[in-house]
Amino acid sequence: MADDRTFNAWAYKPLTKMQLTLREWTEDCVELDITHCGICGSDVHTMDSGWGPTEYPCVVGHEIVGVVKKVGKNVTKVKVGDRAGVGAQCNSCRECKNCLEGSENLCMKGIVGTYNARWENGDKTYGGYADRWRGDYRFVFKVPDNMSSAIACTFFCAGVTTYAPLKRCNVNSSSVVGVMGLGGLGHYGVKWAKAMGAKVIGMSHNDKKREIALELGCDEYLNTSDKEAFGAYRRQMTHILCTGTGRDFDWVTYLSLIVVNGHFINISIPEWNFPEINPFVFFSTQVFISGSAIGSPAEIEDMLEFASVHDVEPWIQTYKMDDVVKAIEDFRAGKPRFRIVLEN
Ligand SMILES: NC(=O)c1ccc[n+]([C@@H]2O[C@H](COP(=O)([O-])OP(=O)(O)OC[C@H]3O[C@@H](n4cnc5c(N)ncnc54)[C@H](OP(=O)(O)O)[C@@H]3O)[C@@H](O)[C@H]2O)c1
Ligand SMILES: [Zn+2]
Ligand SMILES: [Zn+2]
């Protein structure tokens, strides 16, 4: 039977509906009829070539859920008719030390991104602002039966990116976690930290989200534009999870909030560099500064289990896939409360 590789996508630039070609089929492939795709900050950085040149036409979207339409002979993880999801990574080398140790998200040959990258055969990877997706089964996950597809898709990037570092840094009921930036990632950070038993301080760059942050579950709210308000939190937080900040960010102010041996975890990827750190800042704070990249397949499975046990659900707003231009406009304007999900 002929391999029908044509699919419909919203490709950039500018966002236009067009027909493109799916990757070549192999017996390791899964094909999805996409039903949902979340909008991540990384989609916008990539569309804008904000991290470096993007290869256009580019189909972004890496919080994908769909119904399995076809599977290769080597695929046992999902079957035709299942609902399945894909996150920001769609392949890795499977040979390097990190891959062999289960940190495929840190593959030493570079992770293969779900968009703006190439499969091993040279075909382009295309994301989820589309009607179909095709790729390797190793980065495809079955959606738990008790989770709607609209909710589920956001776990595959925003969910795991925030869950993995909080778990790794042992957030628990004695923790006080500051979550910087209450967007798609940040609101998940709040949800996970609360479910792990922590006290949570929502940290947002103005006062607009004060009420909704408390509704979301934050115990307290810090408007980071109000420098006087920082005084009350000096050496109070065991962890800061940074999901977004402005160019006024400075190490001294933020690290002063953290207890001795506490953690500053950055997962945001702005299009500019963080400021220099004066060595005396390390010296006087004894804080662990780290970063984190999405999550490994094992961490994704672990997160889905944790979410189901602890009833962790994101707050989403759905838009029709065909309204993606408006959805991106609203995303850029900071309107989502808290994740936009496109629906086919
Ligand atoms: N590490 C990873 O693996 C990974 C995975 C996914 C995404 N990311 C990156 O994480 C970042 C956040 O993604 P997202 O999807 O959560 O985006 P988002 O929904 O737009 O959230 C980002 C938040 O950052 C804050 N922010 C934005 N501009 C700011 C400014 N000028 N000053 C102060 N705060 C500002 C805002 O929160 P407030 O209004 O509350 O201040 C905003 O809601 C992006 O850079 C994305 O590329 C990283
Ligand atoms: Zn993402
Ligand atoms: Zn590798």
pLDDT of 87 > 90? The answer is yes
Domain boundaries along the sequence of the chain: 6-157+313-343, 160-291
The answer to whether the bond into 336 is cis (omega within 30° of 0) is: no
Residues 6+ apart with CB under 8 A from 244: 41, 180, 181, 183, 185, 186, 268, 270
Q: pLDDT tier at 96 (50, 70, 90 boundaries)?
A: very high
Cα–Cα distance for residue pair 314/27, rounded to 1 Å: 34
Amino acid at 111: I
Residue 224 CA: nearest ligand 1 atom is: 41
CA of 111 to the centre of ligand 3 (A): 7
DSSP 4: -
> What is the model's pLDDT at position 146?
93
Top-level CATH class of 6-157+313-343? alpha beta
CA of 153 to the centre of ligand 2 (A): 11
> What is the model's pLDDT at position 283?
86
The pLDDT tens digits of the residues spanning 214-231 come to 999 999 999 999 999 999
Cα–Cα distance for residue pair 137/68, rounded to 1 Å: 11
DSSP 322: G
Mutate to test the pocket of ligand 1, among 114, 163, 185 (most ligand atoms within 8 A of CB): 185
pLDDT of 1 > 70? The answer is no
**Average of per-residue pLDDT across 54-76:** 98
pLDDT of 277 > 90? The answer is yes
pLDDT of 284 > 90? The answer is no
Helix/strand/coil (H/E/C) assignment for every residue in 23-85: CCCCCCEEEEEEEEEECCHHHHHHHCCECECCCCCECCCCCEEEEEEEECCCCCCCCCCCEEE
Q: Which ligand is nearest to the CA of 295?
A: 1
The pLDDT tens digits of the residues spanning 21-52 come to 999 999 999 999 999 999 999 999 999 999 99
pLDDT of 234 > 80? The answer is yes
Of the two residues 285 and 195, the one the predictor is more confident about is 195
Encoded tokens for 246 = 């402005």
Q: How many CA atoms lie within 13 A of 66 on its CB side?
A: 27
**What fold characterizes domain 160-291?**
Rossmann fold (3.40.50)
**Average of per-residue pLDDT across 196-224:** 98
Mean pLDDT of the chain: 97
DSSP 306: H
The pLDDT tens digits of the residues spanning 137-157 come to 999 999 999 999 999 999 999
The pLDDT tens digits of the residues spanning 152-176 come to 999 999 999 999 999 999 999 999 9
Q: What is the DSSP string of 107-168?
A: -TT--EESSSSB-TTSPBP--SSBSEEEEEGGGEEEPPTTS-HHHHHGGGTHHHHHHHHHHH
> What is the model's pLDDT at position 20?
98
DSSP 321: G
CA of 285 to the centre of ligand 3 (A): 35
pLDDT of 2 > 80? The answer is no
CA of 106 to the centre of ligand 3 (A): 7
Residue 113 contacts residue 86 (beta carbons within 8 Å): no
CA of 181 to the centre of ligand 1 (A): 6
Q: pLDDT tier at 114 (50, 70, 90 boundaries)?
A: very high
Residue 195 contacts residue 271 (beta carbons within 8 Å): no
Cβ < 6 Å from ligand 1: which residues?
40-42, 45, 157-158, 161, 181-186, 204-205, 209, 243-246, 267-270, 292-294, 334, 336
Amino acid at 298: A
304: β partners: none
Residue 246 CA: nearest ligand 1 atom is: 32
Q: pLDDT tier at 282 (50, 70, 90 boundaries)?
A: confident
The pLDDT tens digits of the residues spanning 236-261 come to 999 999 999 999 999 999 999 999 99
Q: pLDDT tier at 3 (50, 70, 90 boundaries)?
A: confident
> What is the model's pLDDT at position 74?
98
The pairing of beta strand 112-113 with beta strand 89-91: antiparallel
Cα–Cα distance for residue pair 104/202, rounded to 1 Å: 31
Residue 41 CA: nearest ligand 1 atom is: 15
7: β partners: 20
